[in-house]
Chains A and B, each alone.
Chain A
Amino acid sequence: MAIYVLRRLGAVLATLVVMSLLVFLSTHALPSNTAALILGQYSTPETRAALEHKLGLDLPLTVQYWRWASALLQGDLGASLVMERPVAPMLWDAFGRSALLAGCTMAVVSTVGVGMGIVAAVWRGRWPDHGISMFAYAGISVPEFYWGLVLILVFGSTFHLFPTSGAATLADGFGTMVAHLVLPVVTLTLTLLAHVSRLTRSSMLEVLDSMYVRVARARGFPERVVILRHALRNALLPAITILAQDFGFLIGGIVAVEAIFAYPGLGRLLIFSLERQDLPLMQAAILVLTAVYCLANLGADLLYGVANPRIRYAGAVE
């Protein structure tokens, strides 16, 4: 198992190296000129050339990549061109806020989604099942910015229940912090619920049909025990994998939701850097997102291994 973890970590590293190359090359392919950006519209070719030389932008791409990557490894993410500040502290602040948003969303999606899946499976073909699947499909069939706008209109503008933009920290009080999270989390959750709940439903149905559930019933265990102890444990395994997949969608969703709710997270920073063609910021933000995605998948696989006794205990007992 330890060797397996090491190998997977190695694979994550390799992915990151490749991603850094791709990010580096693609940002350099953008039709922009860093020196012109920095110097503004009144620059002359001479001043631009001088600055390019100073920044090393006239060096061959390989050398530039090498410089950038080795600085990266030392934790130096460079300085933002537009805000003229080091990228790292800005990035970590934003990252922390996005992580909070993502963490809350995942927690809600996994509990509510799995719960809906169980209810739908147990009451299969009856009204709770139909209701849940309609709700789930309504959520998935509309993009998140639509739900974001609807929620802003209903809960923000009409009822003034929750703040519709920005973020708050613990310093502003716990209630305020949570209030700021409600609408973005709900928006993200709506689009992710369908996947998890449908999958939990089908794996739960399969397990409820299995021989060992029939055996548990034949042993006279109450239905609650049969479902929660005997069926659910086995039905949850595939749900772990699906949640990891959903993490990818979640990252995409976060970028959109942060824009709608003016939530100062990584997604918003990324969009900002793209709009302003702030290369160092853009590169750093994309790399961080990639790393998070890879690690989340790794985490899910390890969790699967730990939760599945077939992987944890491989040897046979004679």
Chain B
Amino acid sequence: MSLLTIRNLSVRYPGAATQAVRDASFTLEAGGSLGIVGESGSGKSSIAGAILNFLGADTRIDGQILFEGTDLVPMPARQRRPILGRRIGSVFQDPFTALNPALRIGAQIAEPMIRHLRMPKPEAAARAVALLHDMGMQRPAEVAQAFPHQLSGGMKQRALIAAALACDPPLLILDEPTTALDVTVEAQILQLLARLREQKRIALLFISHNLGIVRKLCDNVAVMYASQLVELGDARRVLDRPLHPYSKGLLASRPPLEAASRGSRLPSIPGQMPQYPAPEQGCVFLARCAFADPASGCATPQSLATAEDGHAVRCWQANRLGPWPRLREMLSHGPTFTAGDALLNITDLRKSYAGGRSWQLGWKRGPVLRRRAAQVPAVNGISLSVSPGEVLGLVGESGCGKSTTGRLALRLTEPSGGSVEFDGADLALMAPATLQAFRRQAQIVFQNVGSSLNPRLSVGEALERPLALFDLVPAEQRRARVEELLEMVRLPRDYRTRYPHQLSGGERQRVAIARALATEPRFVVCDEPVSALDVSVQAAIVNLLADLRDRFGLAYLFISHDLAVVAQLSDRIAVMYRGTICETGPAAEVLRPPWHPYTRMLLDAVAEEIDPAVEPPAPQAAHGSGGCVFAARCPHHLGAICDREAPPLKPMGGGLSIACHLDLPPVAPVRNSTSPDAVTVR
């Protein structure tokens, strides 16, 4: 008997026209692991919701969910509760809201044991501390006494995993457990899960949009597209040699962690996933499939059939298709940038924000009590430059100050120190008229397109605004210019009349890019422009940004937490940690040794394999001010010098600079040629 068997599961939300999950079947053996991958809206989380019974009473669930031989679907909630508490653990995406802010961590972990196992309170509390220790927490007793707001995101997620495992369940359901976390923290959590799986023989049902993670952690994988499972089988085999065209496209559109030449583009899947796939109208992937052949079998609904490889595929052509077509390399690409006179020059830039307030007794003609706001540096003395037509990638984890740097570069916020020069003129000293001219030439594209487009303006109106504001195009020609802009970002002309809510995420980002281009800028800050998008849409936007760069000779400051996306587009990369630059140089050099210990950690975090035996390095004592910013987490910490002295950026040769006291080997000479494209490895 399998641990979990899902048979013909269908989920339909109240009022929805179509099913969120359609006829899904799979099994999970005891101690096994199954990853369900798909884009947002594919229905993958609804499967977890159906098992955990939180879809609401009005949601229609058909089929069977056999857990340890009993069907959960017809079971009343009261009977299901003990199963949920004792036999199935669950961990959700957002650790920041999943812990109860009013209860201590220890109490939240002990509660399932007290309620379901009838364990006495002191015993449960002791076991909660032991569980926290198992999760790799440094001071478990202290953490057990803490409230959620006192913990970092990674620690919260560990505490949630501890609570999920409190009753030793044979099955753990994880719904995007690391998506809200930084990559290095994600790597630690994955390592923890791999270790727990090995030690406790827990079966994992792992739901994620991230193929790389699923490949690392799961034996089997199910790929979901538009409410249906489209491919199901051994994880390595499916992800290394996918058979379904959607799996092929999805894997191909993931940028490799390599510097790309200026001419290269990512393969991408055109269009987007239908939100309400109409049933019985042929293959669900038909509209986007590169191999579609409606004249033959594609026009009929596909069924999940076993292919040659042993995995089940929902495509009648599965056995005879080649790889997802790559785009031809762009042969003639735009002028490469000329190093020399920088377009944007940032020198010793600083920005502090008022942090937590504290009371202080001061002395000013008698004792006075005053509220002193601690100054927290977000950007702490960084220098960068961007040449005309050049793309500088800025990578770092959340809170490292990269977005603040982007806003400072455009003077959207005032620096606390240092200077930003554009075309040789200091932004801080610009007269209003010059500043207006600067605003025309320097634009920004944000991550959160949902909130950066005014919902009450049609696309055409949104695009006309900058034209009118800067008085660029006479009123009667504006419509033509808007259509031209839409064409530039590859949207149909009639999108002029649409409103943001009628657009998909990718389309909205295209409109935002078009709006930035409306003023014919020379420099664009792209602040996480693709982070909110699904992989298949992401690739198309990255390609678009590359095309625009080449066509108009645009310079970008490309900000992202995703090293692979940055590498795809950037000529040079700067790695940022806690407000300082720790490594900077040509993209290819940054990605190959020598590395700054932090860069190394970022690269390791996204590496293909994890070794459950390896313990992540224990964080050092919290760093004081003045030392290396990375000292607290550095695995190569050299002792006193790292805590005392901030390392300066040292040139390593080949244009690479690294800020570290370690005695790193110089950059190895590049084989064969000297042309800038030759360093890329494609």
Interface residues of A (CB under 8 A from B): 3-4, 7, 210-212, 214-222, 225, 230, 233-234, 309-310, 313-318
Q: How far is the CA of A104 from the CA of B149 in the complex (A)?
A: 36
A214 lies within 8 A of B54 (CB)? yes
- Do A310 and B369 have beta carbons less than 8 Å apart? no
| Contact segment of B77-85, B196-204, B249-257, B417-425 | B77-85
Distance in angstroms between the alpha carbons of A314 and B149 in the assembled complex: 8
| Chain A positions within 8 Å of B94 at CB level | 211
Q: Please provide the 6 A-B residue pairs with the shortest distance between their CB atoms, ordered closest to farther.
A: A220-B85, A220-B84, A220-B81, A211-B97, A309-B147, A233-B102
Contact of A316 among B112, B151, B369 (CB under 8 A): B151
Contact A221 B81 (CB under 8 A): yes
CB distance A317 to B139 under 8 Å? yes
**Given known A211-B98, A317-B139, A317-B143, contact A219–B92 (CB-CB < 8 A):** no
27 A-B pairs with C-beta separation under 8 A: A3-B359, A3-B369, A211-B98, A212-B98, A214-B54, A214-B92, A215-B92, A215-B98, A215-B99, A217-B54, A218-B90, A219-B111, A220-B82, A220-B84, A220-B116, A221-B81, A221-B111, A221-B112, A230-B100, A233-B102, A234-B101, A309-B101, A309-B147, A310-B147, A313-B146, A317-B151, A318-B622
For the complex, give the distance between the alpha carbons of A262 and B232 in Å. 81
Determine if B601 is an interface residue (Cβ-Cβ < 8 Å).
no
CA distance A310 to B356 in the complex (A): 13
Contacts of B54 in A (CB 8 A): 214, 217-218
Please tell me the size bucket of the interface on B: 35 or more
Picked from A219, A309, A314, the residue with its CB within 8 Å of the CB of B102 is: A309
Closest CB-CB distance, B52 to chain A, in whole Å?
5
- Is B142 part of the binding interface, using a Cβ–Cβ cutoff of 8 Å? yes
* A216→B619 contact, CB < 8 A: no
Question: How long is the Cα–Cα vector from A217 to B92 in the complex, in angstroms?
Answer: 13
Answer yes or no: B8 CB below 8 A from chain A CBs: no
Check B152 for interface membership: any CB of A closer than 8 A. yes
The distance in angstroms between the C-alpha atoms of A211 and B83, with both chains bound, is 20
Q: Which residue of A lies closest to B101 (CB)?
A: A234
Give the residue name and chain of the A residue nearest to B94 (CB): A211
Interface residues, chain B, with chain A CB atoms under 8 Å away: 52-54, 80-86, 90, 92, 94, 97-103, 111-112, 115-116, 138-139, 142-143, 146-147, 149-152, 155, 160, 163-164, 356, 359, 369, 619, 622
CB distance from A238 to the nearest CB of B (A): 13
Known: A313-B147, A318-B619. A221 touches B115 (CB 8 A): yes
B137: nearest chain-A partner, CB-CB: A317
Give the Cβ gap from B525 to chain A, nearest Cβ, in Å: 31
Tell me whether A218 and B100 are in contact (CB under 8 A): no
Question: How long is the Cα–Cα vector from A53 to B146 in the complex, in angstroms?
Answer: 68
Q: How many A-B residue pairs have CB under 8 A?
A: 88
Q: State A215–B163 Cα separation when bound (angstroms).
A: 10
Residues of A within 8 A of B150 (CB): 313, 315-317
Q: B163 contacts A219, CB within 8 Å?
A: yes
> What is the CA–CA distance of A214 and B97 in the complex, to the nearest angstrom?
10
B82 (CB) vs chain A CBs: closest residue: A220
Among B82, B98, B139, B146, the most chain A Cβ lie within 10 Å of the Cβ of B98
- Given A310-B147, A318-B622; A221-B97 close (CB under 8 Å): no
Measured CB to CB, the closest approach of chain A to B171, in angstroms, equals 12
Determine the distance from Cα of A7 to Cα of B116 in the docked complex, in whole angstroms.
47
CB-CB < 8 A to A225: which residues of B? Answer: 115
Cα distance, A3 to B98, chains bound together (Å): 33
Residues of A within 8 A of B102 (CB): 233-234, 309
**Which partner residue on chain B sits nearest A212 by CB separation?**
B100
Instruction: Name the distance in Å between B58's Cβ and chain A's nearest Cβ.
Output: 12
A310:B116 contact, CB within 8 angstroms:
no
| A6 nearest CB across to chain B (Å) | 8
Contacts of B160 in A (CB 8 A): 215
Closest partner residue, chain A, to B160 (CB atom): A215
Minimum CB distance partner of A7 in chain B: B369
Q: Which residues of B contact A314 (CB under 8 A)?
A: 356
CB nearest to A233 among chain B residues: B102
Report the separation of the CA atoms of residues A318 and B152 in the bound assembly, to the nearest whole angstrom: 8
| A316: B residues at CB distance < 8 A | 150-152
| Contact yes or no, B97 A210, CB < 8 A | yes
Cβ of A214 to closest chain B Cβ, rounded Å: 6
A108 to B150, CA, bound (A): 36
Q: Which of B86, B90, B116, B155 contacts A215 (CB 8 A)?
A: B90
Q: Closest chain A residue to B361 by CB distance?
A: A3
Q: How far is the CA of A7 from the CA of B97 in the complex (A)?
A: 33
Contacts of B83 in A (CB 8 A): 220
A141 to B193, CA, bound (A): 58
A4–B103 alpha-carbon span in the complex (Å) = 24
Residues of A within 8 A of B142 (CB): 317
Residues of chain A with a CB closer than 8 A to B90's CB: 215, 218-219
Given contacts A309-B147, A318-B619, whether A222 and B81 have CB atoms under 8 Å apart is yes
Contact residues in A for B163 (Cβ distance below 8 Å): 219
**Cβ contacts under 8 Å, B149 to chain A:** 309-310, 313
